[in-house]
Structure 1
């Protein structure tokens, strides 16, 4: 709970209305997914992945009988809803105290806790692992990395141009290469920038180079930095992500204003 004694010395008398937030709020993947939320009707979400068998279509001779039926491949995929909770409590004394830079302490605490939720969600939606603990009745959810089919994963000891384009090729093979967004940490982006030599002329009044779009025969890739990825990257088509990826039931919040 935030009580009056937790104010930084001089905070309530300092005339500078300046607050500095030291924790970086970088949640690009969560921000992209939030508009896709749907109401969760169960703690477990299920959907079906379907692979069309092109061998079902065969060449026939004139007057031939109908070909034998060929089944497509259906796979049941499931995930859990993970509950996330925070509590923001402020004493009435602290709420009534004048703090420079904060007009409403409870609202300020609420905003901070909301940011904490989003930061937690970013890590879960990327690195989460599905599970259930019966003793505490706690469900955890698979993040995007755990949901990538092993056939579409590319592993290598070093980050190279060939391996990156192999990943892009996986999107092309799946037929979802019309719009591709690559999420990766800044250090991998620096390595990617060195894949091709860029010539600078003497009259150019700048140094450095950053790739905004990567053009390949498989399509064009744009980039978003995400520091929740540890020496990994993934590419998604935002139009092809399932709408139930972020169920509304994933989030639980509690904000309290205590009077004493």
Structure 2
């Protein structure tokens, strides 16, 4: 699933490609992609004649802003946007097409068919699902060390599942949580309330730095991710632990290990990310923590 850096890259690319374009009509080829309004015909009719002003992002969601409407789009596992001329062949699994009056088209393709689109009036999208319960943005100015600690530090949940929970910090997924925890030297099974202030400071800096570097590199193309111009991200070449099972740690040389934390495959260096014995707990206790 695309995480914050990938969605931010798509946002920037789409801003270059479609901002200022006027929608002439919309073709919905797979109705279940459209979640709001309930009828795809209403969705298409509402967008006719609208001009895209800008493309914004909230967490892993795109917000396509128009004069008096906001289209909230989630790419889920393999959703992708691309801009084409109207005479170019339509690829398989293309489910929604925005036809512009200049002869170009914005096409949404989704092999897994898990993506969603919601239509709202401006600001309504922020108080209704799916955006209403999202947490803080880790690259915003308001994301400070104190705010980070206030939201998470007293939780007894293990730190990796907590960072993956979009109600606390948005945009983080499996790749960047593994990378940030390694950079900060924190074992993913540590509970949030066990971390000391220096560890919170290291984790805060690691989250921001990892995401900033990934955005600069255009995200990570681990599976099928490409931006709106069909270009791959390059951050996968800079990953320190994710996807590097059995490879030597870049710091200490010990082999990277893969374990499961909160149901997610997790890559760590057990030497650089030690788990204090007094905090290890038993399996039943860990499962209870993850449900908090």
Q: TM-score range by the shorter chain?
A: under 0.3
Q: TM-score, normalised by structure 2?
A: 0.22
- Pair member with larger Rg: 1
Bigger relative contact order, structure 1 or 2 (CA pairs below 8 A, ≥6 apart) = 1
Q: TM-score, normalised by structure 1?
A: 0.24
